Structure 1
C-alpha cells in the first residue's frame, strides 16, 4: 500500500479534519477524501464517522490509527538510521511551538536551521496550548514555562522575563497599584495557559506573595492580552519579549517594579520513548547552541 495513503489517514485523525490533513500533505481535499474511501474499501471497514460538522474515528478506526502511526514512525526511524549512517541529515521533522515566542524570538533561528539543513522537511505547527506532543504526532515541542514531570526528555534553551503592565490611559483613570493587594481593585487581563491557579507571584526579598486575581478578561492567546492592555482594558502579566517595543515607546508602563517577578524557562522537549533521528538531533543541538537575545525589559529594584 502507498504510504501516502496511510500518512494521510494519520494526519486526518491528528488534525481532526480532511482540510487540515490536506494542508499538511500539500494536496487537495478531494484527494484526501479519495484516499480514505479507497482505504475503507480495501479494508472492508468504516474507519471514520463523518457529519457536516464533525469527524471522528470509529473504534476500529482508532485502533488502526494507533497501529499505523507506530508503523510509520518505525519506517521513518529506519530511514533516518540509514541517512545518519552516511552522515546525512534529512527527512520530515514536525515541531510544535507557541505562537508569539515563535514569531518574535524563534523565527530567525528556524530560518537559519532551514538554511543549514536544506534536506530536512520542517513542519512547524504554532499553538499556544499545552498540546500532548505524543498524541499530536510532534517529534519535538517548544515550551515556555516550568515543565511538568513526565517521561519527556528536555533541553533548556533560555530564560524569559515577565512584567506587569498597563496603558498610561488606564493608569490615569484607575490609578497605579503600589502593592500586589491593590490588584483586587483593578481590571485583570489573565493569560489562561499559565499554571498559577488564578494567582500572580510577587517576590520581595525572600518573601513570595501569591496574589489572588479576579480576571475581567481571560484568554489563552498572548497577543490578545497585549492588545487588551494597549486598549486600556486593564493590568496584564505578560512575557517581556512580547511588550518590549511597547514599553520602549511608552504605549505600556511597567508597574510594581519594586517587586520581583519570575523568569520562565524555555525548553525543547521530545518523547524519550522515540528514537532520536538525525534531523531531530540536529534541530535540538542547533537550538541549544543559539543565542535567543531575550533580554530583560525591566530591571526591578528588589526590596531586600
Structure 2
C-alpha cells in the first residue's frame, strides 16, 4: 500500500466529513478510500476514526495523527511544487496587500524589477493598513509590519523595521532636546494610532507608566502625515525609518533619544498554507527576501550619516 496515498485518504475523510465526500474530492471510489484508511490503521496498530452509519469522527489518536499527516503532505506538495516550478515560468495574477506608506515609498521599484524577471506575472497591489484576511479576501501574499502573533499563516521575515523618535530642529530649539525619557514631560506628541508600534515596547506606554502626560498631541493612522507635521514643528513623532529616513538625512528631522531606541519590528511576507504553493507566489517570496538588503536601503543613509559624524 502507498503510505502517502493512505495518508491523503485519511486527511480527506477528516476534511470532507465522510468517506463518500472524500472519494469525490480524490476522484476515487468510496470502497478504495475506506480500504486506504483501514490499511493505514492496520499499519499503525491503532484506530484513527470512529465510524457510524451517519458520520465519522476522530479518535484521540486520530486527532494527533491528522496534524502530523497534514504537515507531512504539505511538505511533500511544496517540494513537488518547487521542483515543478523550475520547469516552467511563473504566470498569472499575483494579488498582494501591503501597508500604505511602505508601499508608496518602497514597492514601485520592487514590483518593476520583479516583473522584468517574471514578465508573465501580473501584479494586483492593494494598499491598506488594516489587517486583511488573506484567505477570505483572496490575496496571495500580504506584507505586514510588526511583531506577528502565532497563526495558521506562514510568515517569511524580510527586513528589520527600526522605529525612532524624532522632531524638527526648530521644535527642539524651542522646546529643548530630551536627553533622558523623563525629559519628555510636557512635549507635544504625534501618534500613529493604527500600528503594532502601539505595544508594550512603545515609549509612550513607558511614559504613561511613569505618569508622564502624553496627551494633547496629534493622532493619525498615516505615518507620512505625522512626519510632515513633525517637519513643520508640530511635535515629536515616533515613526519607522522607512518613512522618516529621508527627512533625517536632509536635516529636516533629528532623532531624539537614540540610546533608548525601541527594539526593531519586522517586515514579513505572509501567505496561507496551501497544498500546492503556486510558483508565482514562491518566486515573489524568494525575490523579496533579499531585495532590500541588510541593512535595508532606507537605513543605509542613516548609518552613513552616523559614520560621518564620528
**TM bracket (short chain):** 0.5 to 0.7
* C-alpha deviation, 1:117, in angstroms: 0.9
TM superposition shift of 1:181: 2.7
Deviation at 1:284, TM superposition (A): 0.9
For 1:193, the equivalent position in structure 2 comes to 194
SS of residue in 2 equivalent to 1:148? coil
The alpha-carbon deviation at position 198 of structure 1 amounts to: 6.9
| Contact 2:201 2:263 (8 Å CA) reproduced | no
Mapped to 2, the partners of 1:148 and 1:227 lie a distance apart of 31
Query: Where does 1:147-166 land on structure 2 (aligned, <5 Å)?
Result: 147-166=148-167
Task: Give structure 1 stretches of 5+ with no counterpart.
Answer: 1-79, 203-208
Match of 1:293 in 2: 297
1:211 aligns with 2:207: yes
TM-score under structure 2 normalisation? Answer: 0.62
Report which of the two has the higher share of helix: 2
Residue by residue over 1:147-170, the C-alpha shift from the partner in whole angstroms, topping out at 9 and shown as x without a partner, is: 121111011111122211011221
Relative to 1, partners in 2 of residues 1:181 and 1:214: Cα closer, same or farther, differing over 3 Å? farther
- Note the 1:1-304 alignment, pairs <5 A: 84=85, 87-197=88-198, 201=202, 210-212=206-208, 213-214=214-215, 216-273=217-274, 275-290=276-291, 291=293, 292-295=296-299, 297=302
TM-score, normalised via structure 1 length: 0.63
Larger strand fraction of residues:
1
Deviates further, 186-195 or 115-124: 186-195
- Cα gap change, 1:133 to 1:111, in 2 (>3 Å): same
Residues 200 and 211 of structure 1 are in contact (CA less than 8 Å); yes or no, is this contact kept in structure 2? no
CA RMSD of aligned residues (A): 2.7
Query: For 1:21-57, what per-residue CA distance to the aligned partner results, in whole angstroms no more than 9, with x for missing partners?
Result: xxxxxxxxxxxxxxxxxxxxxxxxxxxxxxxxxxxxx
CA distance, structure 2, for counterparts of residue 199 and residue 190 of structure 1: 15
Q: Would the aligned equivalents of 1:165 and 1:235 in 2 still touch at CA under 8 Å?
A: yes
Question: Equivalent residue of 2:95, what SS?
Answer: strand
Q: Which 4+ stretches in 1 moved above 4 angstroms?
A: 83-86, 196-200
Q: Assess if the C-alpha contact under 8 Å between 1:160 and 1:294 holds in 2.
A: no
Q: Deviation at 1:234?
A: 0.8
CA contact (8 A) 1:198 1:214 kept: no
2: CA distance, partners of 1:233 / 1:113: 39
Unaligned 5+ runs, structure 2? 1-80, 209-213
Shift in CA distance, 178/261, structure 1 to aligned 2, threshold 3 Å: same
